[in-house]
Structure 1
């Protein structure tokens, strides 16, 4: 069986278990995970509709020829001069879903696409993909793991290049340029590069800018690239010469928080409990108010996807889930400190994808 056939089979098992009659996906990550591609997405309704026994595309005629090179799924085509209404009715009839009682909608699709579907099924209840496509995507298979692991190796090399290049007087953008060049050398595209020096590091999502690195700066480097459809993500810390006052204590606290989360992350544990394990370490050290974001996020086709490790998440972690563990402490006007690793959850706990230590990197001056 092809990967798509296996995933469709697993999706239909999930549909049966959840009483779902129809799953409707728009162009995006869910569709790409299921099929290995997604057609061009614009304002024209383009929907993959999966019923209990077969699947069909609601397909704009303008895009049909290009999409046909990627899939042999049946198309119900519609043209601009007629609109999608009749083609949607045809698709529902082909799937025997005209009287569907429960419909699952892609939470990332355009609102007008979702309303088009719901308008055609006025008697149906609706939900999002958390128990169907979303649940399946959270558990990575061997091929996904291999691609994520290779991207982690590439991310390691980009981080090593950045750490080796750091010098006083170098701008944050120049550090990012080094990172991008290393990604390119490994055949990857830069996904993001946060370089936050000195007080800029206290902004968790700092926009890398023209500030020049100074002696005594702590530097947050949070980077990710993408190759073969999958991304990477990692954060490490550097200091330029002598660390700023209090830095070494904060680094030790954040490292303990990472270790606490790694120890707590086991199959069957709720995501909120892993978040709490790290958060409690930081709070007990007196820095609780300075840990201002969730502990982590899933990583797969998207850089941010379920599971999300928050203080309120009831998601039960399971083998094969891939997610970040990235506690941080952000001291306004002084510095920020975040340590991040991506892990895949195994039966006996998390496997870290990176091979780089989380130690403080000191740039000699």
Structure 2
């Protein structure tokens, strides 16, 4: 919390206003049992001690949180004006960064109570707040990556041909939980032409022989995320399928080899995109190369053109180039990577060669 306040001061902010979500959990260890319409607000100011305002009925849970001793807890009762209670905790003309997930109702209530105050999103003003992971966070991410790898090894053993995408997706979700995930966030199974949609939701399409199938899956384990993608073929792939897959594999490897401290995030994107563009598929690579990961599966930093922020040891992000041939098939390969003192380290180690399934 002290570092967050220092970072905020360097950005010209008077402090941070943190509502339920990953930022609150990361800063205090407190996750409300239910995120409701009742205001919960952590106020971090450079000129005051940390204050946590909670509904009276949730105070016992807040007091039992891991970081409760580091904050002063106050409460408000149903029937009280929560915003009038919160107002004395803020500067009347303060400039604050607010959690991206804050309810508009709460922000509008604070603005009405303190009309001279000003607000912007934490991601806009402090995008690197949670980006650099400590040793414990890195260990959690590594464990989540290993569990996702184990899931991929097992999914190769299940039948694909003749089954619906939703059935394979259910297998992925079951395996993620078996290997330790407490939460499954997504199980993309894009077969045949559906693989050309990067965010395809598993549907009722029946997987057929010689289908390329994009498998993108992940969730939370010990509170930290996994996210990996491999593309497989049902039976023997065509020469074109092999060629496209190899281009993506080389692009992914080239981007990984680019990772080291002190490069701009956009350089990772450029490295992958250069390989795919030179192979003639630049227009078919239609998304950024990567995103940060931590307590959520998508967070800053982003590996995309225009992101000049420099990488530092402890940053963690995906590298996931792809080629998408509309109406035919798609290929994507994704690993989670962390920046080390002299390069990069993967948290996913499954084979990146084109695997075949039955």
Please, which runs of 5 or more residues in structure 1 have no aligned partner?
1-7
Q: Partner residue of 2:206?
A: 212
Which digits, 9 at most, give the CA deviation of each residue in 1:332-360, with x for residues without a partner? 11110000010001122210111212110
* 1:144-293 map, 5 Å: 144-189=137-182, 190-244=184-238, 246-293=240-287
CA distance in structure 1 between the aligned counterparts of 2:160 and 2:93, rounded to whole angstroms? 66
User: For the structure 1 residues 124 and 89, does the alpha-carbon distance in structure 2 shift closer, same or farther, using more than 3 Å as the test?
Assistant: closer
Q: Partner residue of 2:352?
A: 358
Which digits, 9 at most, give the CA deviation of each residue in 1:266-324, with x for residues without a partner? 22211222211111211111111111111110010000000011122222221111000
**SS where residue 119 of structure 2 aligns?**
strand
User: For the structure 1 residues 108 and 314, does the alpha-carbon distance in structure 2 shift closer, same or farther, using more than 3 Å as the test?
Assistant: farther
Deviation at 1:232, TM superposition (A): 0.5
Q: Partner residue of 1:3?
A: none
Instruction: Decide whether the 8 Å contact of 2:265 with 2:304 is kept in 1.
Output: yes
CA distance in structure 2 between the aligned counterparts of 1:133 and 1:227, rounded to whole angstroms? 25
CA distance in structure 2 between the aligned counterparts of 1:263 and 1:49, rounded to whole angstroms? 41
Instruction: Decide whether the 8 Å contact of 2:188 with 2:201 is kept in 1.
Output: yes
CA distance in structure 1 between the aligned counterparts of 2:293 and 2:17, rounded to whole angstroms? 23
Counterpart check, 1:310 vs 2:308? no
**SS where residue 164 of structure 1 aligns?**
coil
Deviation at 1:99, TM superposition (A): 4.7
Match of 1:87 among 79, 85, 88: 85
Q: Partner residue of 1:138?
A: 131
**SS where residue 111 of structure 2 aligns?**
helix
Instruction: Decide whether the 8 Å contact of 1:140 with 1:322 is kept in 2.
Output: yes
Match of 2:52 among 46, 50, 57: 57
**SS where residue 313 of structure 1 aligns?**
coil
CA distance in structure 1 between the aligned counterparts of 2:219 and 2:79, rounded to whole angstroms? 42
Deviation at 1:42, TM superposition (A): 1.8
Which digits, 9 at most, give the CA deviation of each residue in 1:55-98, with x for residues without a partner? 11222223223323322432332223222133113323xxxx34
User: For the structure 1 residues 239 and 56, does the alpha-carbon distance in structure 2 shift closer, same or farther, using more than 3 Å as the test?
Assistant: same
Number of positions where the alignment pairs a residue of Structure 1 with one of Structure 2? 352
CA distance in structure 2 between the aligned counterparts of 1:263 and 1:83, rounded to whole angstroms? 55
Instruction: Decide whether the 8 Å contact of 1:14 with 1:132 is kept in 2.
Output: no
Match of 2:119 among 126, 131, 137: 126
Please, which runs of 5 or more residues in structure 2 have no aligned partner?
none
**SS where residue 81 of structure 1 aligns?**
coil
CA distance in structure 2 between the aligned counterparts of 1:13 and 1:155, rounded to whole angstroms? 36
Deviation at 1:167, TM superposition (A): 3.6
CA distance in structure 1 between the aligned counterparts of 2:232 and 2:82, rounded to whole angstroms? 55
CA distance in structure 2 between the aligned counterparts of 1:166 and 1:238, rounded to whole angstroms? 12
Over 6 Å off, 4+ runs: none
User: For the structure 1 residues 314 and 118, does the alpha-carbon distance in structure 2 shift closer, same or farther, using more than 3 Å as the test?
Assistant: farther
User: For the structure 1 residues 54 and 211, does the alpha-carbon distance in structure 2 shift closer, same or farther, using more than 3 Å as the test?
Assistant: same
**SS where residue 302 of structure 2 aligns?**
strand
User: For the structure 1 residues 180 and 99, does the alpha-carbon distance in structure 2 shift closer, same or farther, using more than 3 Å as the test?
Assistant: closer
Counterpart check, 1:117 vs 2:110? yes
Instruction: Decide whether the 8 Å contact of 1:217 with 1:244 is kept in 2.
Output: no
CA distance in structure 2 between the aligned counterparts of 1:86 and 1:126, rounded to whole angstroms? 17
Which has the larger displacement, 298-307 or 60-69?
A: 60-69
